[in-house]
Amino acid sequence: MNLYLFDPMSLIAPDLGLVFWTTLIFVLFWTLASKFAFKPIGEAIKKRSDSIADALSAAEKAKDEIKLLQNDNENLLKQAREERAAMLKDAKEAKEAIIAEAQAKAAKMKDEAIGEIEKQKVTAIADVRSKLSQEVSKMALEIAEKVLEKELDSTKDHQNLVNSLVDKFKLN
């Protein structure tokens, strides 16, 4: 006795029409989705993950390069500092040498100048002395001459003459 109005076989017996349509729809979906969806999507995802991997490795490489550059920079800086120190040292030495040389030269020049001056002085004094003695002798002669010219005048006049001559000589 069948209590129910439904056909129990309909639930478990495959239906030919449905099998046909399921096969058709699924196989079409499989073919089209593979070609137009899964392939481009898979490729795009692969491309993206590759590009991300590339970018990461490039960044890693860049980091290493920067580290290398930094080391280089530090070395350069160190070198530059050393060079600067050396240059400063050299300059200082050069300065000192120049100063010392200049001082030595100046001292030498001074000595020479002093020597020259001394020499000139001696020469000048000698000159003056000889000239003065000539002058004095000449003056004495002149005075003597004048005295001799006015000899006959009074003693008083004689005295005055000598005085005036002496004054005149003094003024000279």
Partner 1 sequence: MRQIVLVFLLFISANTFAQDTTVVNHASSHEVAVEKLDNIYGEVSHTESAEEESPVDVIMNHVADANIYHIATINGKHITFGLPCILWRNNKLSVFSSSRFHHEEVVDGFTLDHHTGKVVDAATGKRSSDLLSYFGATDSSKFIDFSITKNVFTMLLGVLLLTIAFSMVVRSYKRGANVAPKGFQALFEPIFLYIYEDVIKQNLGKKADKYAPYLLSLFFFILIINLIGLIPFFPGGANASGNISFTAVLAICTFLVITLNGNKHYWHHIFAMPGVPKWVLIILTPVEIAGMFVKPFALAMRLFGNITSGHVVILSLVSLIFILGKNGESLGGAFAGSAMAVPFVLFMSALELLVAFLQAYIFTLLSAIFISSAVAEDEHH
Q: How far is the CB of 65 from partner 1 (least distance, A)?
A: 22
Number of residues that this document lists for the chain: 172
On whether the CB atoms of residues 169 and 143 are closer than 8 A, the answer is yes
**Interaction site with partner 1 (CB under 8 A):** 3-8, 10-23, 25-30, 32-34, 36-42, 44-45, 47-48, 51-52
Tokens of 111: 């000595």
Q: How far is the CB of 13 from partner 1 (least distance, A)?
A: 6
CB closer to partner 1, 39 vs 119: 39
On whether the CB atoms of residues 165 and 143 are closer than 8 A, the answer is yes
Q: How far is the CB of 57 from partner 1 (least distance, A)?
A: 15
| Selection from 112, 88, 71 nearest residue 120 by Cα | 112
DSSP 65-131: HHHHHHHHHHHHHHHHHHHHHHHHHHHHHHHHHHHHHHHHHHHHHHHHHHHHHHHHHHHHHHHHHHH
Q: How far is the CB of 25 from partner 1 (least distance, A)?
A: 5
CB closer to partner 1, 5 vs 171: 5
CB closer to partner 1, 26 vs 83: 26
CB closer to partner 1, 34 vs 160: 34
Q: How far is the CB of 29 from partner 1 (least distance, A)?
A: 5
Alpha carbon distance 146, 159 (integer Å): 12
CB closer to partner 1, 24 vs 140: 24
